[in-house]
Structures are given as C-alpha cells and as structure tokens.
C-alpha cells in the first residue's frame, strides 16, 4: 500500500468550499513536476481522445500540441477555470462530497 489510511485523511477538517471560495492563481507543484506530468501525458494520451480533468484549475498540464476531441474540466473555483486556456467545457463544483467521491475513485484504481 502506498499510503496508510491516516495519510489519506485531510489535515484540515474544515469544509473545502471555504478554501476554494476565492481564486488562488498559484501552482501547487513546481515547474519540474509540471514538465514531467506534461511529458507523461504527451507519451500516454492519444490525440482525438476525450479527457475528463477532475482536478482542473487555471493551469493545464495537457500538452499544447496534442489536439483532443474534448476536454471536460471540473474544478473548485469558477474564476480559476475561466482562465484555463484549454478546456472545451468547464464546471465548478465546490463540494466536499464530490471530492470524497473523486478520491475514492482515484484510490481504488
């Protein structure tokens, strides 16, 4: 197991809606990681596929030169999503229950 159960718990038990109520135009990882992730997507994702970005923000990690059939971006702040250059469709949902569901899906893969 990569993470122990206690490592999968939120450090801050407050509602995520409070944190995401205001846009934060920052990146949460360094440029080196963004470059590695973009390169991984470049290698693994095929053109003309449909992409579901469940943790979308104002920064896209998808490679610019790859043309996707559709990009669906879901995130926690509408202002951040509006600044994102790539998504075809964006939706803002600020819900701890939604995040819990996403985490369960991701952790069960």
3 found inside a domain: no
Tell me: the pLDDT tens digits for 13-69? 888 888 888 888 988 889 999 999 999 999 999 999 988 888 888 888 899 999 999
7 found inside a domain: no
36 found inside a domain: yes
59 found inside a domain: yes
44 found inside a domain: yes
Enclosing domain of residue 29: 17-108
Residues 6+ apart with CB under 8 A from 55: 74, 75, 102
- Specify the higher pLDDT residue, 35 or 106: 35
> Strand locations in 1-109, DSSP E?
50-56, 70-75, 89-92
Tell me: the pLDDT tens digits for 73-92? 888 888 888 887 665 555 55
12 found inside a domain: no
Task: Evaluate whether 45 touches 66 at the Cβ level (below 8 Å).
Answer: yes
**Could you give the number of structural domains in the chain?**
1
Q: What's the residue count for the chain?
A: 109
9 found inside a domain: no
2 found inside a domain: no
Q: Indicate if the alpha-carbon torsion angle 87, 93, 94, 95 is positive or negative.
A: negative
- Specify the higher pLDDT residue, 11 or 38: 38
């Amino acid at each position: 197991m990569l993470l122990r159960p206690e490592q999968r718990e939120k450090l801050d038990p407050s509602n995520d809606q409070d944190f995401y109520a205001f846009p934060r135009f920052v990146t949460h990882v360094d440029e080196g990681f963004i470059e590695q992730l973009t390169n991984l997507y470049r290698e693994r994702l095929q053109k003309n596929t449909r992409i579901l970005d469940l943790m979308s923000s104002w920064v896209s990690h998808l490679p610019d030169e790859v043309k996707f059939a559709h990009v669906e971006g879901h995130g926690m702040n509408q202002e951040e999503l509006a600044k994102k250059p790539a998504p075809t469709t964006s939706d803002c949902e600020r819900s701890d229950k939604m995040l819990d569901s996403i985490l369960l899906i991701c952790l069960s893969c």
